[in-house]
Chains A and B, each alone.
Chain A
Amino acid sequence: MSKPLPSALSVSMGAGVGYQRLGRRRLMIVALSFLLLVISFTCDILTGPAQLPLSDILSTIWSPDSASDSLRTIIWTFRFPTALMALLVGASLGVAGAEMQTILNNPLASPFTLGISAAASFGAALALVFGAGTFVFASTLLVPGFAFASALFGAMMIYGIGRMRGGSTETLIVGGVALHFIFSSGVAFLQYVASDDTLQAIVFWIFGSLQGATWSKVAILCVVLSAAMSLLATQAWRLTALRLGDIQARSMGVDVDRLRLQTLALISILTATAVCFTGAIGFVGLVAPHLSRASVGEDQRYFLPLSALYGALLVSVAAVICKLAIPGAIFPIGIATAALGAPFFAALALLKRRAYW
């Protein structure tokens, strides 16, 4: 305490070594999670309504041209896109939830807190009610298109509210919650006026489903997720600094309001893209960031990729469980992610040894 801070830096490493060791441990956790994800993805490919021998599946994967049409269709048209969609949607929701909790400084924030999911559900319900006459067209193009447009419209409204009032967390949360209830009441009204078949379709969409995944949808989501994660990675340290509080971050030179609104815009597009293809898969965006935070803390260099990996893992494992629990049936994935994620979430809250928020 008595000596001034030296300018020449030639000291033995102590706390710095501990920090570097912590970094290596976190990298190991990220690598291990990736390995688990690969295992889960493999299980997802190997399981399905059609009971196929392992050798047939493997030969179809290695040499698609020599496989029969039916096998090729099952593996390459259905299972691969569906399994990849599970990973991408889970990763998207995990990333969106992590950044939503970061910018809103709120542990209960998720992609659905600010009404983006409700907006997507409203758009999908609107398409299902008014496009019911052309059901095939409705389910492939109209529903995702309306869901995306509506989610983006909702996100733009929140962005507008945020810009008007300086982007404070309180403004964004209050505006988002209000929007959530407005869109939810809209969905309820559409359910009320819908025919029985359409009502069933709306309910199924809201539960979330990976059915209908195609290579083009996978490619679109892959591009959006990669772009979002790359842009967020460039702001990793600033987003980390945001968790020390607005004033502290400002004093470090972070343009807090701008960063918050830019991040909000980015994760809104990501959420809208993810949910427009699969419906509202709940709980992933809430629980994945909490598990990630408990594993590697909130240095965004680890927190961001691990939230993506945990989100992907949660949806992928849920997809496998759905197929094994009720063979042959199309079980809404959203129910399984909530059933799987909730115990993890509760265990984290009840058994934790240290405060994770």
Chain B
Amino acid sequence: MILEASQLSFRYDSDPILSDIDIHIGPGVSAIIGPNAAGKSTLLKCLSGILQPEGRVRLNGKDIRQLSVSEITASISYLPQEFTPQAVLTVFETVLLGRLNQLGWRVTSEVLELVERLLEELQLTSIAGRYVNELSGGQMQMVSIAQALVRQPAVLLMDEPTSNLDLRRQFDVCGFIRQLTDSRGLSTAIALHDLNMAARFADTIYVLENGRVRCQGEPVSVLTEEMITEVYRVESRVTIEPSGRPHVAVLGPCSQAPTRET
């Protein structure tokens, strides 16, 4: 399934947040990177149909505005950046809610088994009976990821899914999403801050800066020292690993503002 946007713009009141975005989320993992307030979260909300932007968003060629909410949620699963619920719901119940459209007064054994299996895959079985409002930030994030995945979407949009996770969990979760994407032919877009995670797990990287796509392409062509200096204002050293993927070593902040080519 292909999710694409053309000439996408969005403004909060009169402040432009996104301008003339063209993006193509096809099978594989696309990483969306950029500094704070670049518009990454807003872009994902526009793509998921939560926000109504100007321009066009198409799902397999169909304008998303012509699709019903249930049609959109049947295909697209969006994982928000913030997930700190105060609800008195167990982890199992919270993940179960991901199958909202299938839930009746009685929950079928198929849905129960699906949730159970996913909790096992994400190593959450031990906390399945705990209330979500008692979990740590990292555990809440894992529950949120589980809820996004249990919907078995064709398009997966994840807003910084690893921001609260320890190093090992970041690798595990990104690896799991990568594997899931490959095995099911998903079209996955992940907003990330960690450039090395993007370099390691993404097929395509979009760099957002001030609400516009600055550049896009394979990690090796996008993650350059020049781009990092100009977009993030830090000095870095980029090396190419034996796998052919770039590795970014951040050296420190730029001593002075870089000069920009126009």
Contact of A241 with B100 at beta-carbon distance under 8 Å, contacts A9-B114, A298-B89, A299-B93 already known: yes
Interface of B is mostly: helix
Chain A contacts for B148, CB-based, 8 A: 251
Report the nearest B residue to A234, measured CB to CB: B105
- Which B residues contact A (CB, under 8 angstroms)? 45, 48, 50, 69-70, 72-73, 77-80, 82-90, 92-94, 96-98, 100-101, 103, 105, 109-110, 112-123, 125, 128-129, 131, 133-134, 144, 147-149, 151-152, 172, 175-176, 179-180, 183-184
> Does the CB pair A22–B129 fall under 8 Å?
yes
> Does the CB pair B123–A19 fall under 8 Å?
no
A243 contacts partner chain B, Cβ-Cβ < 8 Å: yes
Give the 5 A-B CB pairs with smallest separation, nearest first: A253-B73, A15-B128, A243-B87, A4-B183, A16-B112
Report the bound CA distance from A241 to B103 in whole Å: 12
Report the nearest A residue to B103, measured CB to CB: A237
> Does the CB pair B131–A297 fall under 8 Å?
yes
> Does the CB pair B50–A250 fall under 8 Å?
yes
Chain B contacts for A4, CB-based, 8 A: 179-180, 183-184
Within the complex, what minimum Cβ distance (angstroms) separates A184 from chain B?
A: 29
> Does the CB pair B94–A244 fall under 8 Å?
yes
Report the bound CA distance from A4 to B185 in whole Å: 12
> Does the CB pair B88–A356 fall under 8 Å?
yes
A6 contacts partner chain B, Cβ-Cβ < 8 Å: yes
Interface of A is mostly: loop
Contact of A251 with B78 at beta-carbon distance under 8 Å, contacts A1-B122, A297-B90 already known: yes
> Does the CB pair B73–A252 fall under 8 Å?
yes
Chain A contacts for B144, CB-based, 8 A: 248
A61 contacts partner chain B, Cβ-Cβ < 8 Å: no
Task: Select one of A10, A14, A251, A298 contacting B87, CB under 8 A.
Answer: A298
> Does the CB pair A1–B172 fall under 8 Å?
yes
Report the nearest B residue to A356, measured CB to CB: B88
Report the bound CA distance from A206 to B82 in whole Å: 43
A50 contacts partner chain B, Cβ-Cβ < 8 Å: no
Report the bound CA distance from A134 to B129 in whole Å: 61
> Does the CB pair B80–A248 fall under 8 Å?
yes
Report the bound CA distance from A331 to B168 in whole Å: 65
Report the bound CA distance from A43 to B77 in whole Å: 53
